[in-house]
Amino acid sequence: MPETVGGVQVLEFRLEDRKYCIDIAHVDEIVDKDELTPLPNSEPRVEGVMDLRGITTTIINPKKVLDLEETETGERVVVLESDDDEKGNVGWLIDAVNQVVSIDTDEVDESVESGSVRGIVRQDDDFVVWVKPEEINN
């Protein structure tokens, strides 16, 4: 697919029966979920921590931030790029990775923008919600 003017690549993933995406520039890697160690007294969105090649990675459940009902437990983790060494690595617990697609940012409907949502991407007869990683992580 040729790169368009104003085009950006996004990682499309699934939470429950809905599609979401984030700018691929935020993604470090995608791994299978390993054993999580719960953190006492942590925020509800924090599922725990996981050892990722010797680095403690905080695992966040975006379903709790996006107020989705949980019917299945995510088995994949999208590890995000970290600018802040003191905060450490952060990963999102997701249900499935769909694909990396190139979208034209001019075609993103930003009228629905909110705290954690950047906009909506139309895809065939479907909507993909473009989320802001900084809002889900904080």
With a cut of 70, say whether residue 50 has pLDDT above it: yes
- Is position 2 within any domain? no
**Angle subtended at Cα 104 by Cα 132 and Cα 102, rounded to the nearest 5 degrees:** 80
Percentage of the chain surpassing pLDDT 90? 72
Average pLDDT over residues 50-76: 92
Q: In the structure, how many helices (H) and strands (E) does the chain have?
A: 2, 10
Number of domains in the chain: 1
- Is position 26 within any domain? yes
Whose structure tokens read 């983790």? 77
- Is position 3 within any domain? no
Better-predicted residue by pLDDT, 47 or 86 = 47
- Is position 118 within any domain? yes
Beta carbons within 8 Å of 120's beta carbon, 6+ residues apart? 108, 109, 112, 127, 128, 129, 130
* Three-state secondary structure call for residue 38: coil
Of the pLDDT bands very low, low, confident and very high (cuts 50, 70, 90), residue 106 is confident
Structure tokens at 93: 């617990």
* CATH number reported for the structural domain that contains residue 59 in this entry: 2.40.50.180
Quote the mean pLDDT of the chain.
90
Q: Tell me, what's the pLDDT at 123?
A: 82
Q: Tell me, what's the pLDDT at 87?
A: 67
**Domain hosting residue 16, numbered range:** 8-137
Give 107-118 as a 3 state SS string: HCECCCCCCCEE
Phi, psi angles (nearest 5°) of residue 16: 55, -130
Better-predicted residue by pLDDT, 2 or 52 = 52
Of 96, 98, 99, 81, whose CA–CA distance to 33 is shortest? 96
- Is position 1 within any domain? no
Question: What single-letter amino acid sits at 130?
Answer: W
